[in-house]
């Protein structure tokens, strides 16, 4: 079974603010869920992005299952 990871990263500040000096980098975070093949990463490993749109949730069971299955079956890092 693929290995699952989760990280939280700070993102670029919002372009929809009145003042560019608000320093709101610390307030904007995103959660990143990704999986790597159980056999590890090698020179043949690719990458696949799953975009959870239209109300989708990146941490839902459907996305977890797709990340893990595709990572192992097709030798991909899935994000």
Backbone phi and psi for residue 37, each to the nearest 5 degrees, phi listed first: -60, 145
Task: Indicate whether 64 pLDDT > 80.
Answer: yes
- β partners of residue 29: 10
Mean pLDDT score, 61-77? 96
The model's pLDDT over 29-58, given as tens digits with 9 standing for 90+, comes to 889 999 999 999 999 999 999 998 888 898
Backbone phi and psi for residue 55, each to the nearest 5 degrees, phi listed first: 85, 5
- β partners of residue 57: none
- How many separate helices (H) and strands (E) can be counted in the chain? 1, 4
Mean pLDDT score, 3-11? 93
Residue 39 in tokens: 């056999």
């Amino acid at each position: 079974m693929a290995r699952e990871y989760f990280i939280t990263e700070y993102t670029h500040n919002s372009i929809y603010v009145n003042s560019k000096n608000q320093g709101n980098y610390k307030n904007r975070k995103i959660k990143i869920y990704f999986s790597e093949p159980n056999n590890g990463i090698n020179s043949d490993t690719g990458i696949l992005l799953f975009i959870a749109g239209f109300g989708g949730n990146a941490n839902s069971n459907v996305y977890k299952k797709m990340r893990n299955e595709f990572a192992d079956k097709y030798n991909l890092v899935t994000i």
